[in-house]
Amino acid sequence: MKLAKDEIALPNNLACPGCGASLAMRLALKALGRDTVLVIPACCWTIINGPVGKNYAGVSVFHTAFETTSAVASGIKASFKMQGKDHINVVGWAGDGGTFDIGLQSLSGAAERNDDIIYVCYDNEAYMNTGIQRSSATPYFAQTTTTPEGKDRPKKDLMGILAAHYVPYIASASLAYPQDFTKKFEKAKSIRGFKFIHIFVPCPPGQKFQEDKTIEVAKLAVETGVFPLYEIIDGKYVLSKKPKFVDITEYLKLQGRYKNLTEENIEFLRQAIKSKWEYLNKRFNE
């Protein structure tokens, strides 16, 4: 499958070099098309999209308060329905802080109502825009400015939380697999009701790796089994790509946020990946 040629997102936005979130928007809009409006809360994309007068996303954007992405998107969709413009994709585009943490309530509200919107969480695993503070998406042992000792709790299972809302479509996607990525956005576009897409976006300054390693980090997140690629379609779990289960050290050693890990920590992570996949495999085989 070829990617759409249409470049909707514009070049020269205000992202850091090597920004995964910038590339995620470019790919997502290729699949979503121009009949799309975005709701963007406080997150890196508030800055990336440029100051007053600029709009690097290339589609209409409503910048909103941190915790309101889903509710604002629900309101936009309801209005478009009343106006007979139901074909427009209404897309919430939020970071992990605005999704896993402060935005979780309104996300849950919109999912429970099965409002016909697409919610995208671009997850760089910390509050990168405010300077790398931990979020509930920050994984075990990752160092942030508020967890200098490394985080002592696991990453919240957001896919599981969404699955508990019985919505028609949930998927995880990776920048390292653009065909799979865009296919999932196209699928989300074609389904009525609430759609959730979770993208892991590597962040060079926040995760502390060289800015030319973004795709390599994204790819290793999948290949080590850290970030599984799958869909939950009407409650049915479908695996998108079986990892090679490359040893996790390959992934960890690229990133400065894991520089203090002990051999014991690494073994703990190996076991965590194993038990996560045991849990997922049961669901894939259901």
Partner 1 sequence: MKKVLGGNDAVSQAVSVCDVEVISAYPITPQTSIIEKIADLIYTKQMNAQFIKVESEHSAMAACIGASIAGSRTFTATSSQGLLLMHEVLHWASGARLPIVLANANRAIAPGWNIWAEATDSLSQRDTGWIQLYAANSQEVFDFIIMSFAVAERSLFPAMVCLDGFLLTHTKEAVEILGNDDAKPLLAKINRDTLDPKNPKAYGALAFPKDYYAIKKQQHLDMLKVFDIFDNVALEFKNITNRYHKAVDVYPTHISDYSIVALGTLSQTARLAVDNLRKEGVDVNLVKINMFRPFPKKQLQELLSNKKLIVVFDRDISHGKGGIVKDEIAGGLDLCNVVGFVGGLGGDTITESDIVSCFLDAKNSQIKGLFL
Judged by the rule CB under 8 A, the positions of this chain that interact with partner 1 are 34-37, 39, 46-47, 49-55, 57-65, 67-68, 70-83, 88, 105-106, 108-109, 112-113, 115
Question: Least CB distance from residue 84 to partner 1, whole Å?
Answer: 12
Question: Least CB distance from residue 72 to partner 1, whole Å?
Answer: 4
According to DSSP, residue 190 is labeled: H
Distances (CA, A) of 142 to 76, 148, 244: 37, 9, 23
113 vs 213 by CB, closer to partner 1: 113
Question: Which residue, among 259, 146, 152, 149, has the nearest Cα to 207 in the 3D structure?
Answer: 259
67 vs 223 by CB, closer to partner 1: 67
Question: Least CB distance from residue 194 to partner 1, whole Å?
Answer: 13
CA distance 101 to 95: 10
2 vs 87 by CB, closer to partner 1: 87
Write out the DSSP string of 109-140.
Answer: HHHHHT-S-EEEEEE-SSBTTTTSB--TT--T
Kindly tell me the burial class for residue 238, based on how many C-beta atoms sit within 10 Å of its own C-beta (0-12, 13-18, 19 or more).
Answer: exposed
Question: Least CB distance from residue 99 to partner 1, whole Å?
Answer: 15
Q: Which amino acid is at 108?
A: S
- Residue 230: beta bridge partners? 239
Q: Which amino acid is at 32?
A: L
105 vs 262 by CB, closer to partner 1: 105
65 vs 161 by CB, closer to partner 1: 65
Question: Least CB distance from residue 113 to partner 1, whole Å?
Answer: 7
